[in-house]
Amino acid sequence: MAGEGTHLLCLTATSGVPLYCRTSRAGLPSRQQLPFSVIGSLNGVHMFGRNLDVGLSSARTEDSVVVWKTFHESITLIVLSSEEGASALSLERLLELVFGAMVLLIGLEELTNIRNVERLKKELREALSGFAESVGAAFACLVARGRVAVGTPGWWRLAAPESVLLPWLLGTLPPHTARDYPVYLPHGSPTVPHRLLTLTLLPGLELGLLCGPTPALAHFSPQLLDQWWQPLLEPLRACLLLLPRGLPPGLTLAPDILGLLFLHLEQRRCLFTVQPGGPAGEGPAPRQRRRLLRWWFSFVTAEHFAPEPSDGRPVTSEAGSGPPAQPRGCYAVGQGGHKLFALSAGPRRLLLLLAGSAPTHGLRALATRTLQALTPLL
């Protein structure tokens, strides 16, 4: 525990996203906070128990008491205290009072609607669209450490080369508070330059705008940024904690999964991670995992899951009897003993890199369960 005192944590029950943390020492507010690793561990052990239908309500160490309580399957409050006289009963009553205060100020409906990260994503999309509209930019996105987290409808309509290359460009540029960078769009505007404006909201989180001659970079005053983004800074910080894993904290995948690529072809969006269980442990290093998954994607796209033709007409067999049969799944075994599996289901495709210990006969069932778990995200 980080020092004596009482630490109060408030998180979403389903995804574990921190909403706020408060600390007091001898009854007075303190700036001292628990490390994020401790917060994650306290919430993780509680969520692990819930997944096994085990209710963890309190625990005691040599000098501290911890109490967990979930309200309306929406908000989880955790209190950890090392102050003299602290007991599980008194701390549980404290949590009930804290939740009551939240209801008093916000209302129960607002609190119980925090079901998962979808609500946060919706808030970010509304804020991004509103901000982009206020400055006259149709193409805007939030880039979290090189990954596009949220984009305006116009951003997702960009041609594939631009939507891929622009985030890569941001990742190669040196850190800067703001940029005004000229770019040509390989598909949309290869001869007339546009302006890529970037603004750093938090370390590792950038706002990107694709613009014409206007607005000027000087237009983005601190007051304008505060108006749109100050209310969302705490949720945004929580989002950055999801990286590099890239998955909601409450989403638990099979331990044999070393990496995955999950695509939605109609939305032209994907989810990619080579650390689904947190920091890479046994098996190939993250860089090797990325290389294997990229090869697997190229292979199955070329050999098995061919994309639809650009003119939208169905592909027919040589005999003209109708479209050829498309496989639903395929697998391969690598030289290092690891396994690769691909599953196609409508507009969604899931590619998995698995440890060699994963039983071959169970790969399809494992991939199907994983697809079901990831479908709400895309």
- Within the chain, which residue ranges are assigned CATH 3.30.450.70? 6-112
Q: What global pTM score does this model have? A: 0.57
Whether 139 contacts 158, CB under 8 Å: yes
CA–CA gap between residue 167 and residue 170 (Å, rounded): 5
Q: How many CA atoms does the CB half-sphere of 375 hold within 13 Å?
A: 13
> How does residue 321 score in pLDDT terms, banded at 50, 70 and 90?
low
- The yes-or-no verdict on residue 4 having pLDDT over 60 is yes
Spell out the long-range contacts of 84-93 with Cβ–Cβ below 8 A and sequence spacing 24 or more.
86/6, 88/57, 88/58, 88/60, 91/58, 91/65, 91/67, 92/57, 92/58, 92/67
CATH classification of 117-234 is 3.30.450.30, yes or no? yes
Q: What is the pLDDT of residues 15-26, one digit of tens each?
A: 677 788 888 876
Domain 257-309+323-377: CATH class, spelled out:
alpha beta
Whether 27 contacts 6, CB under 8 Å: no
Mean pLDDT estimate for the chain? 81
Q: What is the pLDDT of residues 267-287, one digit of tens each?
A: 888 888 998 876 666 778 888
CA–CA gap between residue 212 and residue 218 (Å, rounded): 15
- The yes-or-no verdict on residue 351 having pLDDT over 90 is yes
Q: What percent of the chain clears pLDDT 90, i.e. is strictly above it?
A: 13
Angle at 155 between CA 299 and CA 140, to 5 degrees: 130
Work out the average pLDDT over 300-320: 57
Work out the average pLDDT over 322-345: 83
- What is the separation of C-alpha 158 from the centre of its chain, rounded to a whole number of angstroms? 22
Q: How many CA atoms does the CB half-sphere of 259 hold within 13 Å?
A: 27
- Edge to edge, the sheet with strand 6-12 lists 28-29, 18-25, 6-12, 75-81, 65-71, 58-60
What confidence score (pLDDT) does residue 1 get? 43
Work out the average pLDDT over 325-336: 83
Q: Which fold would CATH assign to domain 6-112?
A: Beta-Lactamase (3.30.450)
**Lowest mean pLDDT across 3-7, 349-353, 374-378:** 3-7
Compare 150 and 30 and report the one with higher pLDDT. Answer: 150
- Within the chain, which residue ranges are assigned CATH 3.30.450.30? 117-234
What confidence score (pLDDT) does residue 316 get? 45
> Scanning the structure block, which residue is given the tokens 């939030």?
142
CA–CA gap between residue 125 and residue 155 (Å, rounded): 12
Q: What is the pLDDT of residues 94-143, one digit of tens each?
A: 898 888 877 876 677 767 765 455 566 666 778 777 888 777 788 888 88
Question: Which of 317, 314, 357 lies closest to 333, judged by CA?
Answer: 357
